[in-house]
Chains A and B, each alone.
Chain A
Amino acid sequence: MLYNEPSPLETRVLTRRFSLPNSASIDTALANGGYQQFLKACGMTQEQIIDEVKASNLRGRGGAGFPTGMKWGFLPRQSPKPKYIVVNGDESEPGTCKDRVLIENDPHLLIEGILIAAQAVGAKAGYVYIRGEYRYLIDIMEKAIDEAYAKGWLGKNIQGRGVDFDLYTHTGAGAYECGEESALLESLEGKRGQPRIRPPFPAVAGLYQCPTVLNNVETFCAVPSILEMGGKAWADLGIPKAGGTKLTCLTGHVNKCGVYELPLGFPVEKMINEVGGGIRGGRKMKAFIPGGSSCPVLKGDEAWPLTMDYDAMAKAGTMLGSGGVVIMDETTDMVKAALRIMHFYAHESCGWCIPCREGTTWLKKILTRLDRGVGTTRDIDLAGDLAKNMLGRTFCPLGDAAALPTISIVEKFRDEFEAKLRKVQVAVPAFPDSPLVVMQ
């Protein structure tokens, strides 16, 4: 089911079958080109498939944007160990709700993408890790898997091509950190969602220490169309170095919030004003997050001239991220926004390493104080300083993800912090403890 009207400005490649009736059923998929690219892949060598993906300039849609073809190429060809496909459907990055749309509307597209990946690396089994909150999606996925088994698109000797592949779902249970690939693997192995030391990367030692292809849902969903159109043509949908389309979630203060499939390099201005129908109430955009709360925040003026692609965002000092665009108009309380984001990271820090575990909570306490109007100038500096002390020193990127928004908000919106400072500058006792994350 679609939760928002599609936009005429979309380039509907991955979402092509979405508006068909019963789009999630295998019959709809098969009647509309489903699984045909897998059959094509059966006639290709592993190198050919990987080369096609490389030519497509597909970069991982989970947030880090790593070239997918290259990643698949890292799997050791000659390994006595079984190989696995793992799908990252943890989708927990605040602002992001696109994988959900993909699985809900066309699970067979995902299965087909998985099968092609399995062909490319010689994997015989795969797991779709879906966050626990998405139970209904797990049910949809399982139904699709059952259909695929029933129609011979999964299991032994698929469509008589001598290919075996088993696919399973696996539920998460509420932990953002499990979106991080190595923590996801730990979780899949029945452990706490704590990241692993890397190297080795999953391509070499992933699930059960075996070579593993681990990608985002959307990344797999892109693969069938790459084989269909050819890598080059798919790449040309986007811009050089960033091929294809990307599901973009418009959220926050924009008139037409929703998930839209837009080609890479889509102008921010057009995205907000034309796809998104402009800023709510015709107001000014104060701040812009391109791809989930882990990205540094841009001022509205900085964002308007940009295009939605990896390099442009990097040049502007932020990241394209996961596609969760957060738009904040001039009424937004940036101190509160900073606090809410830090609250999230303090809650989600797995606790493994010192700077992240202690840093996020301390920052949350300071930001709480600033938000409640009992902070001091020293607190503003301290917040910025502590966030910088976390940066680049934590075990996994969650620490950076927590630090970057704070650093950028404190730097770019310092005046808002100052406006909220305690009016009477006298020494008062430390603000009482803000309530800790109560989990159980």
Chain B
Amino acid sequence: MTFSPELEKRIEKLLASYPSNRRKSALIPMLMYAQDETGYVTRELVEEVARRIGIPPVQVDEVVTFYTMLWRKPRGKYHVQVCTNISCLLTGGEELYEHTCKKLGLGHRETAADGVFSLEEVECMGACSWAPAVQINYDFYHHVTPEKLDQLIDDLKKVH
């Protein structure tokens, strides 16, 4: 499996961050950064990462299936994450999520057929004081209202 030069550099840096007999430490960051490039964790990526670190594939599977940010199926180009945990719930997070479902025509952890958007109802993302919050890929949006969200999504549709 080939990666972009940037990713290769990142992986090299990662592997150098840990003692040489502790290469496995690089596993989760490696999957996270590689996933940014491959879109999700493919079987191929699992085997590749296992090979590079020198561990059996099952040890990669163990990790991939534990962490929610590691996806085993394709996500949209824009992955819309709406928090409905307690602080967001109190400030309209649930309504916002329902609105987003309708807007995108998607449900929890679903990806649109054209691959542009995917949706996820997420747990607290650390934006509680500026709730309700939404994250699109790695970008945070605070005090989000349904109108603001419509605007955001429409803008993204345009760029796309």
Contact = CB atoms under 8 A, between A and B. Distances in A.
Nearest to B29: A171
A336 interface: yes
A47 B66 CA distance: 41
Given A4-B129, A175-B67, A190-B24, A344 B32 contact: no
Nearest to B123: A344
A192 interface: yes
Interface stretch (B70-78, B111-119, B151-159): B70-78
Contact of B130 (A257, A340, A348): A257
A91 B85 CA distance: 14
A192 B130 contact: no
B9 interface: no
Interface in A89-127: 91-97, 99-100, 127
A281 to B, nearest CB: 13
A170 interface: yes
A341 to B, nearest CB: 6
B129 A328 contact: no
Interface residues of A, number: 59
B143 to A, nearest CB: 9
B71 A3 contact: no
Interface string A228-249: 0000000000000000000001
A175 B68 contact: yes
Interface stretch (A62-70, A128-136, A308-316): A128-136
B123 A336 contact: no
A95 B67 contact: no
A191 B63 contact: yes
Given A190-B26, A190-B27, A340-B86, A92 B123 contact: yes
B91 A172 contact: no
Interface string B73-112: 1000000000011110111000000000000000011000
A97 B49 CA distance: 33
B138 A136 contact: yes
Contacts of A127: 17
A145 B67 CA distance: 26
Given A95-B86, A171-B29, A131 B62 contact: no
Contact of A189 (B25, B72, B129, B139): B25
Interface residues of B, number: 49
Contacts of A253: 90-91
Contact of B32 (A173, A340, A350): A173
Contact of A251 (B17, B24, B87): B87
A171 B138 CA distance: 13
A193 B67 contact: yes
A332 B73 CA distance: 37
Contacts of A289: 86
B142 interface: yes
Contact of B90 (A136, A176, A326, A347): A326
A340 B84 contact: yes
The winner among A96, A173, A440 for most chain B CB atoms within 10 A is A173
A296 interface: no
B28 interface: yes
B129 A132 contact: no
The winner among B19, B32, B125, B126 for most chain A CB atoms within 10 A is B126
A373 interface: no
Contact of B128 (A94, A135, A187, A336): A94
Interface in A242-289: 249-253, 257-259, 289
A252 B132 CA distance: 9
B123 A190 contact: no
B14 to A, nearest CB: 9
Given A171-B32, A336-B89, 19 more contacts: A96-B128, A97-B128, A97-B129, A100-B126, A132-B67, A133-B125, A136-B139, A168-B17, A170-B29, A172-B67, A173-B28, A190-B63, A257-B91, A257-B130, A257-B131, A293-B85, A326-B90, A340-B84, A350-B66
Interface of A: 3-4, 91-97, 99-100, 127, 131-136, 168, 170-176, 187-193, 208, 249-253, 257-259, 289, 293, 324, 326, 328, 332, 336-337, 340-341, 344, 347-348, 350, 438-440
15 contacts: A4-B130, A95-B86, A97-B129, A97-B130, A171-B29, A171-B33, A172-B67, A174-B70, A190-B24, A191-B27, A192-B63, A193-B66, A208-B22, A340-B89, A438-B109
